[in-house]
Amino acid sequence: MELQDPNAEFAEDASEEPEVSADTVAQLFFDFLRQLSTLSLAAAGGTVTLMQTVFADSERQALLVGAVVALFVAALFALQTQQVLVERLASETRTLRPDGGRLARLKMKRTSANEQRLMYISFGLFGIGVALVGLAVVYDFLL
């Protein structure tokens, strides 16, 4: 009688990568960027509201202004990343191919590497903005 390894079937399946279509990946990435831009703008607006109410007499207004700027720029980078993604995908179709006018030379290359760089910058700026708000809270209320 020969013994079989019950995990052998799972080991074979684990070596195969799951099949995910490029359309699904693009849609998920686009949705992630939309959520990041929305969250960044909401956090910037909330920080402005806090500056005018709770932190109105705070000595840490500069931290909060820096947070608002970082959050706003994070939203702009997320929107720019969405545009690069859409234009890269559109260039692969016949009907949505962008024109090659004079301004086309000024555009950054529409590559997935640039999308990732812009996304990391946006996410980093979001983190910096939230950290600055956190510092203002700690300095004003806990120290």
Would you say residue 68 lies in a domain? yes
Would you say residue 99 lies in a domain? yes
Over residues 116-122, mean pLDDT: 95
The model's pLDDT over 66-83, given as tens digits with 9 standing for 90+, comes to 999 999 999 999 999 999
Would you say residue 125 lies in a domain? yes
Would you say residue 120 lies in a domain? yes
Would you say residue 4 lies in a domain? no
The total of other beta-carbon atoms located within 10 Å of residue 139's CB is 13
Over residues 94-98, mean pLDDT: 61
Prediction pTM value: 0.79
CA distances from 87 to 38, 104, 112, 132 (A): 21, 12, 11, 34
**Backbone region of residue 137 per phi and psi (left: phi > 0; alpha: psi in -120 to 50; beta: other values):** alpha
- Per the structure, the count of domains in the chain is 1
Domain that includes residue 78, residue range: 22-142
